[in-house]
């Protein structure tokens, strides 16, 4: 849902900024690298210290690079396999840094091993969810399912909750519990999404094999009749 509607909205909003960067001679790959570096810095510098509000502010400023670089590539007519590969690879790096920041906090100052384990599960399951779709497509299957919680949902839920949870340091009572709730939601949602994709790949694989077998039968029958002659 977020990929369909929010991405389209922000793409329109960020188009003038993308055009400005192009006029300045900035390349899409540069925007991708700077954006990822900013997200990693915001997550691994602020989150392990429990500074969730400021960490989320920094991450949010840089996370939109994921939309800007693609917008620039389209305006330049340079959409390429390399750009798609770099963007997808660095997305995984950024996701790892965000949940890695949560892990470091709960393993250290946050002192909560259960939430540390939940954060680890969120990190691992998010990577596997992305892998299942990429791997399924690489073997020729459409993987025609998005699932309950994709990358956009994982980021929005986690970052919004972390940002609001950080307001606890500004005197807002009880709001720090938003982040643990969000992590549990992301963990369960990621597990459901993983199951959805695995089931879809299993079904599509079986259908593809049945279709291939059905095509082979007429060919074998034709070859048999030719041999009989």
Q: Give the pair of three-digit tokens for residue 134.
A: 């990429």
Distance CA 106, CA 93 (A): 20
Angle at CA 101, nearest 5°, toward 84 and 129? 45
* Regions of the chain short of the pLDDT cut 50: 1
Whether 167 maps to a domain, the answer reads yes
Whether 219 maps to a domain, the answer reads no
Q: How many CA atoms lie within 13 A of 227 on its CB side?
A: 6
Whether 163 maps to a domain, the answer reads yes
User: What is the pLDDT at residue 114?
Assistant: 97
Angle at CA 81, nearest 5°, toward 80 and 83? 65
Whether 98 maps to a domain, the answer reads yes
User: What is the pLDDT at residue 226?
Assistant: 59
Residues placed in the known binding site = 29-32, 66, 69-70, 74, 80, 87, 91
Instruction: Provide the residue range defining the domain that includes 148.
Output: 1-214
Total number of domains in the chain: 1
User: pLDDT tens for residues 105-161?
Assistant: 999 999 999 999 999 999 999 999 999 999 999 999 999 888 899 888 999 999 999
Whether 225 maps to a domain, the answer reads no
Catalytic annotation, pick one of 91, 95, 111, 112: 91
Whether 5 maps to a domain, the answer reads yes
Whether 90 maps to a domain, the answer reads yes
Tell me the CATH number at 209. 1.20.120.1760
Q: Give the pair of three-digit tokens for residue 63.
A: 């996370």
Whether 223 maps to a domain, the answer reads no
112 a catalytic residue: no
User: What is the pLDDT at residue 71?
Assistant: 86
Residues placed in the known binding site for Mg(2+) = 66, 69, 87, 91
User: What is the pLDDT at residue 228?
Assistant: 54
């Amino acid at each position: 849902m977020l990929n369909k509607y929010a991405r389209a909205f922000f793409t329109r909003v960020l188009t003038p900024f993308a055009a400005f960067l192009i006029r300045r001679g900035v390349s899409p790959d540069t925007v991708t690298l700077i954006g990822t570096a900013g997200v990693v810095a915001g997550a691994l510098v602020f989150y392990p210290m429990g500074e969730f509000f400021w960490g989320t502010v920094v991450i949010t400023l840089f996370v939109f690079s994921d939309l800007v670089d693609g917008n620039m590539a389209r305006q330049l007519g340079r959409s390429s396999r390399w750009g798609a590969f770099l963007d997808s690879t660095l997305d995984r790096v950024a996701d790892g840094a965000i949940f890695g920041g949560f892990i470091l906090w709960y393993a250290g100052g946050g002192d909560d091993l259960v939430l540390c384990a939940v954060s680890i599960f969120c990190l691992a399951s998010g990577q596997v969810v992305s892998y299942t779709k990429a791997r399924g497509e690489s073997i020729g299957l459409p993987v025609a399912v998005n699932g309950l919680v994709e990358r956009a949902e994982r980021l929005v839920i986690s970052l919004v909750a972390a940002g609001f949870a950080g307001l606890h340091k500004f005197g807002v009572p009880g709001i720090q519990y938003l982040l643990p709730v969000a992590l549990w939601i992301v963990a369960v949602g990621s597990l459901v999404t993983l199951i959805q994709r695995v089931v879809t790949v299993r079904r599509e694989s079986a259908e593809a094999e049945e279709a291939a077998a059905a095509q082979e039968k007429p060919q074998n029958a034709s070859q048999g009749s030719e041999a009989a002659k």
